[in-house]
Amino acid sequence: MSSPKFEEFLNKVTSKVKSKEAHNRIKKELTNHLQELSQSFQKRESSKEKAEEKAIQEMGNPYAIGENLNQIHKPKMDWILIVLFVILAGVGFLPLVGGIPELSLSSTYFIGRQVIWSILAVLVLIGFLFFDYRKLKNLWMYFYASGLLIHLYLYFFGYITNGVNKWISLPGVMVDGTMISLFLFFLAWAGIFSKNNEFNSWKKQGLLFFLFWTPIFLYMMVPNFMFCIIYFFCIIGMFAFAQVQKKLALKLVGTNAVAGLIFLLAIIITSRESYFFTRLSAFINPNADPNGAGYMYITVRDILSQAGWFGNGLYNDLNFQLLPEAHTDFVFPYLVYSLGWAFGIALSLILLLFISRISKNAFKTKDLYGRLIVIAGAALFSVPTIWNILMGFGLVPIMGVSLPFISYGGSMLLFYTAFLGLILNVYRRKDIVEPTVAVV
């Protein structure tokens, strides 16, 4: 227990620190220093009272220490990440300049809606930026259960678009229910992994197995294969940095690897004639069905070959019949065709910088829960970005996947900004939170 003299000294120090959340951490650290100094002086035959006075004198002026600590523990904003977000959100308006032919509405209509979504996105980002994210840590069961309930709602009441049952109808707007469930599952898994060493009994490990595979089955049922891939890589990414005990990690990896192989074999055996395999065959050999499943691969390749370094302009002759979904899933080849390869390379570099920045931020916090949230965010932005761009080049199978912040769509924009808000929240508190990451 700290002595009254130490308490008085610590109160003077913390009176200069504006962040009240950092007071406990500062007091704990300084108390340790003071006690070490006091014990050192007591060994030199000083009385306890004199040793405490000498320890305080050794520490120096409490107000000067407090002012220095105030600078260190001041909440910080990652302005570079925010600037990159603004640039990417701005690029999202470019595909709307010429309008969306398949919907027969003016470009003004879509730009106006995108402005509204962008304003809402900024409000969402602010909302997720300023509360204490650590309060979410113990709510993982509620997040997971809410994700399951959303899928239950979609099964009975959801709206189907392009063969995917993912829309929830709200007054005046349709919301992507699968995107909300994905967000909730990520929050749940960050909470689970922050305490996964507690899952040491076989019953709890069985529960982890169930929790991991259930969302994959649900996204397969919708069906939304891309979300299965995003979910899988995000959870694997979090698991890799969750500091799971080696023995437990080997058990979990072994069990789930066997289950995954059985799952893949079951898909291959039971779905040979399915729509999924037809598209996969088209990806391997698009020329085998040039007017059917292979059409988009051939079309995108032709469009990119006509782009040139500086493109054909945003008001070009590329129409819906030639490239459908040019404002959403195929926004990258559309922008390259319109603005050229120079723009495409610059955009790819900005996206790479954005993801790289998030990845680096993950290791700047010493709070395990916050670190897992940021790692999930890095994977969340990486997987769809890389897949969308490679899909534009015909290097991966074509799936319904948007380019973060650039593809048109309100639900997607709100989803990504909500997660960006959480990432910025973790960064903002990185010098305030107490360390929970084990030192290796």
The token pair that represents 127 in the structure block: 């909302």
CA distance 288 to 47: 91
pLDDT at 400: 80
pLDDT at 82: 95
Give SS3 for 173.
strand
Task: List helix spans (H) across 78-139.
Answer: 79-91, 107-129
pLDDT at 104: 61
DSSP 256: H
Q: Which amino acid is at 203?
A: K
pLDDT at 360: 92
Contacts of 411 (CB under 8 A, 6+ apart): 174, 175, 176, 179, 180
- Average pLDDT per consecutive 10 residues, the chain (440 residues; last block may be shorter): 80 84 82 85 76 84 87 86 95 81 68 90 93 91 94 86 79 84 93 78 83 89 85 90 81 82 76 66 78 80 85 74 77 90 94 94 90 92 92 84 88 92 93 74
Map tokens 């197995």 to a residue: 209
CA distance 170 to 173: 5
pLDDT at 404: 92
What does pTM read for this prediction? 0.84
Task: List helix spans (H) across 130-245.
Answer: 140-157, 177-193, 202-221, 225-240
Residue 306: half-sphere exposure toward Cβ, Cα within 13 Å = 14
Map tokens 């009272």 to a residue: 49
